[in-house]
Chain A
Amino acid sequence: MDVIEEGRSRLILKENGVLNAEESDYPGSYTIDDIWSHEKFKKVFMVKIVKYNETEMEFDLIGIHAAIANAFRRLLISEVPSMAIEKVFVYINTSLLQDEVLAHRLGLIPLKADPRLFEYRQPGDTDGTEQDTLEFQLKVKCTWNPNAPKDSTSPDDLYKDHKIYTKHMKWLPIGGQGDIYKKRDVGPVHDDILISKMRPGHELELNLHAVKGIGKDHAKFSPVATAFYRLLPEIILTRDVEGEEAERLQKCFSPGVIGIEESEYGIKRAKVLDARYDTCSRNVYRYEDLRDAVKMGRIKNHFIFTIESVGALPPDVLFIEAVKLLKIKCRTFLDELNHV
């Protein structure tokens, strides 16, 4: 790879800093054609799915600019909607947890409801309709357990209902909601989220209203636990590293990054197996005799994207929703420009 191509496409990880971090591929910077065209983008852009399950996925976005990848990440965290408890009507709360603390805890419970099927609640509307609200009831009273073993001191034996879990939340369908949704499709993602602890005589009677919202308004509406990307690491050995040096080199990187192959004469030689999951720590540079053997870098347009869903929607659907949101933004601005 020539010097110019390296400067354009690689980030260089030095002992005390990072070189080439800026984007330099603007028209006029080089003799290379850097003009934006959709056809060119179509040719280079690639997606590769690496891992996928219901709540977490990892995929590669190749041939895209950091600004675009970052836009998707920001949209996932703060603008893709989800449902969360927003209003709590407290009829009885004789527990130790104050009303506002309890309400905050309830707000953070992830719900399974699909936000695409709901509308945003209109500002000023306090009651809500079946299109924009899910209603739950939480009614629990803690009592003494009359059948507790005499010598027991454990709260689990002594009291009944002293731990309030999400499974105590009862869904109250509004209007025709009972025909459209099933109980397991709208309730909390997990049944065993501890909300509060009580003692005999304590009682809770609450009505909860869950509405649709976005992470920008409150983090509880964010549909992802995390959404992040990193650049694909690249490690190049510039000379042969053999024997004891090879083993030392292997220990400088994350497990599985450097392998050792043994030649027919019994010489151990280091070899880069897979740099993908390297943490890019600069451990090698601590050794005078090894620092000249490696070149560490990252590929500037290869993004390893990870999305961890909170549980309402699978991560691939969330990504599509994020891209759709950016498209909708473009559409509304274009409509406005075309009308002027």
Chain B
Amino acid sequence: MNLIAELAGEDSDTKSRTFVFEEGGHTFGNALRCIISRYPEVMLCGYTIPHPSEASMHFRIQTTGPRAVDVLKQGIEDLEKLCDHTMTVFQDEMAQFKAAN
């Protein structure tokens, strides 16, 4: 099954897209929005969960030039790097704390 789809009816322009995440939710949606909306070439970025009893999450990106898909990819990559860095820093601190106590 496809985890990410595109909402139909926007083929003319690659700058704007609404992506449909099969399993997303506020946890992933808001974290990703937080990063993507801070890119300089992004005009609008937002997400919604259209129906509370369905798992799907709609994620909208509008840019001033680059393809929306590329921006999405960049955003997820940055979020992944953030997770890696958070883990490293937390584990270092934890090791230091345990050594000191």
State the CA gap A338–B74 with chains docked (Å): 12
User: Least Cβ distance of B2 to chain A in Å?
Assistant: 7
B79-92 vs A: 1/0 string, CB under 8 Å? 11111111101110
Q: Are A38 and B78 in contact (CB under 8 A)?
A: yes
Q: Are A68 and B76 in contact (CB under 8 A)?
A: no
B75 nearest CB neighbor, chain A only: A36
Would you call B63 an interface residue if the criterion is a C-beta within 8 Å of the partner chain's C-beta atoms?
Answer: no
Name the one of B27, B34, B81, B91 contacting A65, with C-beta atoms under 8 angstroms: B34
Interface residue tally on B, bucketed by range? 35 or more
Residues of A316-334 at the interface with B, using a CB-CB cut-off of 8 Å, are 316, 319-320, 323-324, 326-327, 329-334
Contacts of B26 in A (CB 8 A): 74
Given A35-B38, A67-B30, A326-B83, A49-B93 contact (CB < 8 Å)? yes
Given A38-B81, A49-B93, A52-B101, A326-B28 contact (CB < 8 Å)? yes
State the CA gap A211–B96 with chains docked (Å): 35
State the CA gap A1–B55 with chains docked (Å): 44
User: Least Cβ distance of A324 to chain B in Å?
Assistant: 7
Name the one of B27, B37, B86, B93 contacting A323, with C-beta atoms under 8 angstroms: B86
State the CA gap A329–B79 with chains docked (Å): 10
Q: Are A329 and B28 in contact (CB under 8 A)?
A: yes
Would you call B31 an interface residue if the criterion is a C-beta within 8 Å of the partner chain's C-beta atoms?
Answer: yes
Q: Are B31 and A67 in contact (CB under 8 A)?
A: yes
Contacts of A334 in B (CB 8 A): 73, 76-77, 80
Would you call A27 an interface residue if the criterion is a C-beta within 8 Å of the partner chain's C-beta atoms?
Answer: yes
Contacts of B60 in A (CB 8 A): none
Contacts of A336 in B (CB 8 A): 2-4
A79 nearest CB neighbor, chain B only: B27
User: Least Cβ distance of B79 to chain A in Å?
Assistant: 5
Interface residue tally on A, bucketed by range? 35 or more
Q: Are B85 and A41 in contact (CB under 8 A)?
A: yes
State the CA gap A334–B79 with chains docked (Å): 11
Name the one of A26, A36, A331 contacting B78, with C-beta atoms under 8 angstroms: A36
Would you call A239 an interface residue if the criterion is a C-beta within 8 Å of the partner chain's C-beta atoms?
Answer: no
Contacts of A237 in B (CB 8 A): none
Given A52-B97, A332-B3, A68-B78 contact (CB < 8 Å)? no
Would you call B7 an interface residue if the criterion is a C-beta within 8 Å of the partner chain's C-beta atoms?
Answer: no
A35-71 vs B: 1/0 string, CB under 8 Å? 1101001100111110010000001000011111011
Which 5 pairs across A and B sit closest by C-beta, in order of nearness?
A67-B34, A36-B38, A330-B80, A327-B83, A71-B31
Enumerate chain A interface residues (CB-CB to B < 8 A): 25-27, 34-36, 38, 41-42, 45-49, 52, 59, 64-68, 70-71, 74-75, 79, 316, 319-320, 323-324, 326-327, 329-334, 336-338, 340
Q: What are 12 pairs between A and B in contact, CB < 8 Å? A: A27-B38, A49-B93, A52-B94, A68-B31, A71-B27, A319-B90, A320-B87, A326-B79, A329-B28, A330-B79, A337-B69, A340-B4
Given contacts A38-B78, A323-B86, A333-B3, 17 further A-B contacts (CB under 8 A): A35-B40, A38-B82, A41-B85, A64-B86, A66-B34, A70-B27, A70-B31, A75-B27, A319-B90, A324-B83, A326-B83, A327-B87, A330-B83, A333-B4, A333-B21, A337-B69, A340-B4
Enumerate chain B interface residues (CB-CB to A < 8 A): 2-4, 21, 26-28, 30-31, 33-35, 37-40, 69, 72-73, 76-87, 89-91, 93-94, 96-98, 101
